[in-house]
Amino acid sequence: MTKLYIKNMVCPRCVKTVREELEKLNLTPVNVTLGEAELLEPPEKLDFDLINAVLKNEGFELLEDSNSKIVEAIKTEIIKVIQNYDEFDLENILFSKFLSDKLGKDYPSLSSLFSKVESVTIEQFVILQKIEKVKELLTYKEMNLSEIAYSLGYSSVQHLSRQFKQITGMTATRFMKESQQRRKSIDKLS
């Protein structure tokens, strides 16, 4: 068995695509989740350059060094929480404790590594993910701004509005009116 760590896997479609691409290479994926793929084949039977080339063609990338794996794991955990906001208590979640518990490492070292590799702090990455989720929810018009603020753990609508304007350069109201505004791919936020 071989475990692959894969960058830019951020949604169920990514999992499906990676599985399909590995199967096209006549490999046997046993388990494919966000950021990882476990193959039945042993490492010595794999052509990692070919796998990486095929994955890169789809916007993914194999991770080889341990620091990259840790950073990708941090990003994956944050994305899971924000994308599945209705399953978490975002108002009370402490990402420092959550990430430390999930990854089994102390938060200061995780934070330092993340900032060094990504050039943004973990906190900034969380904010970017939240704002992108706000854009998505505003686009769908299923929730008003107050409901969105509460669901994503903001202390108030004003706090969300200030952060939204700071990140996007426009108010949430203006964003809702400008239907041409394009959302960013969540794997490109850093």
HEC string of 153-167 equals: CCCCHHHHHHHHHHH
Which pLDDT does position 113 carry in this prediction?
A: 95
Output the CA torsion 156→181→132→71 (10° steps). Answer: -150
| pLDDT average, residue stretch 88-110 | 93
Which pLDDT does position 89 carry in this prediction?
A: 87
Roughly what angle, to the nearest 10 degrees, separates helices 122-140 and 157-168? 100
Shared domain for 119 and 101, answered yes or no, is yes
Give the amino acid at 85. Answer: Y
pLDDT value at 41 more than 70: yes
Shared domain for 116 and 169, answered yes or no, is yes
Domain that holds residue 35: 2-63
pLDDT value at 24 more than 90: yes
Shared domain for 86 and 155, answered yes or no, is yes
Which pLDDT does position 140 carry in this prediction?
A: 85
Place of tokens 């970017």: 128
Report strand pairing: 36-39 vs 61-63: unpaired
Output the CA torsion 53→115→153→166 (10° steps). Answer: -100
pTM: 0.76
Residues in the chain: 190
pLDDT value at 126 more than 60: yes
Please provide the average confidence, as pLDDT, over all residues in the chain. Answer: 91
Shared domain for 77 and 57, answered yes or no, is no
Shared domain for 26 and 71, answered yes or no, is no
Number of domains, the chain? 2
